[in-house]
Amino acid sequence: MRKRSADPAKIVPSDITPYQQYLSRRALIAGGLGFAAAQSIGGFAGVAFGQPAAALTYVRNGALSVADAPNSYTDITTYNNYYEFGTDKSDPSENAQKFRTRPWNVTIGGEAEVTGTFSLEDILQPHPLEERIYRLRCVEAWSMVVPWVGFPLGDLLKRFKPTSKAKFVEFKTLYDPKQMPGQRAAVLEWPYVEGLRIDEAMHPLTLMAVGLYGKVLPNQNGAPLRLIVPWKYGFKGIKAIVSIKFTEHAPRTTWAGSAANEYGFFANVNPAVDHPRWSQASERHIGANAFGRRQPTLPFNGYAAQVANLYNGMDLRKFF
């Protein structure tokens, strides 16, 4: 099997079938400017139940994108982990269509000088959007390549002026069993909680995603706000975020609290550390064929050159 570079800027395009209309459009927009059928914030304002996803204004960030061809829009929007809408991979696309993401508020709290409740428009307004093509690696040993649209999480967090006591950042998903049928079952503790160390949250690769394939994020992919931390397993990518809290101590995250021997707080992609029920040494890439082709798992999901220094001196088998 062909060996792939750990440097995302040098990776050879994979043989995944691309989203042809998207790639054709990209070929027409030399200079990196994205599809601009609407203003970035205006696109969000126009979203309502029953309407097609609005286009976004963005600039492609080639320096932080892999060269792999993205998975198809169908792959990305119909094969999802989102237990709030069901535990089968097809459940979110089937059960999230009536989920209402407007109006939407985010509460900022904890160890910061600026706290309170902010509308989605308040959260988005100062932030120009960019497209980044990132790998998505799930702990069940499958992967995709996704063209996310969003902005650096660190830029958002700096607005709230975290204090010197802010060592971690906690995120929570909306709790609304009427809209989220999966929350009616005790599959996990609700609401879903995730967290990052403050330096991880501020890292340039960490993205607050609001769209994919140049359009507003579909409900099943975490609309209206979801986290993307590309060197970590996908369960760190919390969706439908309604709370961001700066904390002095590591938050009790949902999966680490539910099964601490299987899902660690750090969740860095590490082929040398097996899940108790399967190997993480290889992964099945969704979309290559009917069953997905297997390929070696890259340390830190291929982003080691950018992030390995965050964990100098740590035992990555213990802090998994």
The answer, yes or no, to whether residue 11 has pLDDT greater than 70, is: no
In a domain? residue 84: yes
What is the pLDDT, as a whole number, of residue 276? 92
pLDDT band at 252 (very low <50, low <70, confident <90, very high): very high
**Which tens digit of pLDDT belongs to each residue from 145-200?**
999 999 999 999 999 999 999 999 999 999 999 999 999 999 999 999 999 999 99
The answer, yes or no, to whether residue 204 has pLDDT greater than 50, is: yes
223 neighbors 217 (Cβ within 8 angstroms)? yes
Over range 270-296, report the average pLDDT: 87
Domain count, the chain: 1
What is the pLDDT, as a whole number, of residue 21? 44
In a domain? residue 317: no
Angle in degrees, CA 52, 61, 122, rounded to 5: 55
Distances (CA, A) of 46 to 42, 102, 103, 183, 224: 6, 10, 11, 28, 13
Domain range for 300: 8-306
pLDDT band at 87 (very low <50, low <70, confident <90, very high): very high
The answer, yes or no, to whether residue 18 has pLDDT greater than 60, is: no
In a domain? residue 314: no
Residue 139: CATH number of its domain: 3.90.420.10
State the DSSP H helix or E strand holding residue 212, giving kind and residue range, or none if neither: strand 207-212
Q: Which residues, 6 or more positions from 3, have their beta carbon under 8 angstroms from its beta carbon? A: 296
- Measured torsion, CA atoms of residues 53, 132, 114, 194, in degrees rounded to the nearest 10: 90
Distances (CA, A) of 275 to 63, 141, 188, 268, 271: 32, 9, 19, 12, 10
Percent of the chain whose pLDDT exceeds 90: 81
56 neighbors 215 (Cβ within 8 angstroms)? yes
What is the pLDDT, as a whole number, of residue 53? 84
pLDDT band at 291 (very low <50, low <70, confident <90, very high): low
What is the pLDDT, as a whole number, of residue 293? 77
pLDDT band at 6 (very low <50, low <70, confident <90, very high): very low
In a domain? residue 224: yes
